[in-house]
Amino acid sequence: MLEIQEVTKKYGKKYALQGVNLQLTEGVYGLLGPNGAGKSTLMNIITGNLQPDDGRVLWNGTPLKSLGVDYRRMLGYAPQQQGLYDGFTGRRFLSYLGTLKEIPKKALAAEIETVAAYVNLTEKIDSLIGTYSGGMKQRLLIAQAMMGNPALLILDEPTAGLDPKERVRIREKIRELSKGKIILIATHVVSDVQSIAREIIFLKSGEIADIDSVEALKSRYGAAHLEEVYMEIFGEEAVCHDETDSL
């Protein structure tokens, strides 16, 4: 279980997060909100890349600070496009990240082939990352997050830059991965998570605006579609999303 208890973070006088409380167990969770809602700040706190001003994060009842490297071993994180080396091939990048994750050398080659196939990058895995499209880079980041079979998978805007067909494919792969794992997906695109999420978490101006299953949220707001709930909660803050992908 991942627990977030009264987590607060300020930048200057502005709150990025204010008293956030969550309990996540096995399954896929969608973290929805427009840009600036606090999604990336929350994910960086969950991954240990950022410390909260107040509150704490626990894994199975133990604070992250106490877990140290053991927590990082069970964590997979795909940030928005950053930290990629254009002079590396996809294979070399995954080999480097796999080594950092302490995947045994004998198992590493097979692990790379598995995750590359999972995100449909097998044919380009030996090409330079500098030649990759934005969507291919995003898939490479998802692949590295999957390495080592993490119990907690954090994906920040995982379908950014993907065409509608690849977005659907990645979404279904995430559904397949979710057994025995906690997967948290931050996005402002409702269609990325509405068909696979156990629960949707709406984050507005650094606070939890609502959280529940898709069907419960639609019932509560009298909505036929989750997009209507999104618009009801965020109003003018809502970011226009790709309506061509309704699957």
Q: Which CATH class is domain 23-52+152-242?
A: alpha beta
Residue intervals in the chain for CATH 3.40.50.300? 23-52+152-242
Least reliable range by pLDDT among 43-47, 130-134, 172-176: 172-176
Report whether 152 contacts 121 (CB < 8 A): no
DSSP of 159-222, one letter per residue? TTT--HHHHHHHHHHHHHHTTTSEEEEEES-GGGTTTT-SEEEEEETTEEEEEE-HHHHHHHHT
Q: Average pLDDT of the chain?
A: 91
Residue 148 pLDDT exceeds 90? yes
What digits encode the pLDDT tens for the residues 83-123?
689 999 999 999 999 999 999 999 999 999 999 999 999 99
The amino acid occupying position 25 is: T
What digits encode the pLDDT tens for the residues 33-48?
988 899 999 999 999 9
